[in-house]
Structure 1
């Protein structure tokens, strides 16, 4: 079976594949003041989001934050309580799902078990009245796009999980939808297949130019494939930005805590500076003074030998070898747990209980008011 170690597959040329030949520039998608209530419970609180034609945008957040609900409202599977959804220049809030011209891939593959792969992919085309021969040709092109044209005559139970999800992707693309919706489509796959399929979805999306909305709780997935990411929390969008913006310049402590790995350590804020372990850092979070909790990325904390020229005492709790780097968890003298990312080739000892010292890289930090 293909793994993530396999070199990227060469996509068919546009002259050989009708789907690629028909590739367009995508469709603008807009959420305007989107509200969704279930009884007395409000799960979406006035979402506003503008997705450019051909853009790949991820809705990222923890379980229960409302990201799948937003996707289902966009698909027409749920009706908005207030607000509107627009595709291009058209308000589709009251347009049924089958007339919105979207393709959707779910976490579950949802393939027809009694149909062969080719028939699964061509099903939507046949329902639209396309002749069997033409539908088969178009379905073969879609399977070629995902690298499964050689498995067209198999049944779903004869495929691996990754192959079944590729068939689901081909089925979503074969009708040439205006917008592609992906609802955690990779979460049921093993790690290597997940990475490979994630990258392949992005490559195909770029070639087709299709506007794509991707729901995930996996920050690594979102960072790897997105043009922009909307971080959601409790039915609201906390920040929308490029992966680099969210990681390097989070707009809030919530985003800093959720995107990437951070440690929370005590600090003292005054104006636009915060003191951490005796070192003054620029403070991105405005309006804070006094005791705060500071978010530090693992790569911005340094391990130094005991009795070095500067540092704060800490004790190693555990250290994990990650290949070309190590991630070491330490506890400082004031009780804070801090993750440090460092080269695997250095010669310091990281056994549990070893005393070490920490220093902080002088980069701008995010903080929040200290909890009692």
Structure 2
């Protein structure tokens, strides 16, 4: 079977018309950021923000039109409100483009934003720096909360580097019901959603900020998170840094709080403090800090080695007057199990490798209850 190409995509999209303007989405210049790779097709549809509800059927029609093409495996279309058209049309020369405005400063949350039905509490798991084991921590922490009787979900918000499919041993596109909403994928009694379910493992996500924000919004609102019962907690595996995704989550999503993951070394803690300050500026409570890769125990002799230092996260938590939730050692079993899609808390729940996550989950529940003392009561049934 021959692979689909961009020209075929645009021809298929010419069969989809704007409901009021009487022209197809290609001729109107609405199609943006088309990526075709290995039978997977993704693109944006540029709209005015006020047209979001009206244009949702158009987005679905575009996906259906592309899905009918021979050689197409997966399709993902997102609505975006701030992106030049990618359709074949005359392009403005770089010399005449207006300079980009500086990025907006974080603003406190308001009463509006994204509503996520079927989820009681949403907690961001974040880090200022990549490579600190945030995704491994998110998955095992979710499993530890599930082991304590909570109904838990995970949203993989790391659009550029999704890890959830690999770590949970999941693959394939989520099922869609009547083309209106998606059902989260399920394993180890966790409800899961990730952009990685729509892409090949080696496929890059080449999107700009508005498309990232739109995709994130759709994974929150176009998924039936209560398909397997109302979620007590959703953990959001955030990308590293303080960019578009972090601001969208912090300003638009009703977060119960944020958990910061860091290694003990100074260079990671510097970035962790930046992440903490970002959440504080937008009035998101910091539920606590986790020190990952806190120490290494030699499996042969049992000697302890503090490869990245030790205690830095605890000291930072004390200085910033926030909770220190616990420390997780650096161990090959944790890494091997994560790479195999068999997280240690799910497959070896009584092992010493799972215990730190169980203890941290208990500390996290206490931290959530503490945050609720001055606000609405949080009850875990």
TM-score (norm 2): 0.28
Higher gyration radius (CA): 1
- Select the structure that is richer in helix: 2
| TM-score of the two chains, using structure 1 as the length reference | 0.29
Q: Greater strand share, 1 or 2?
A: 1
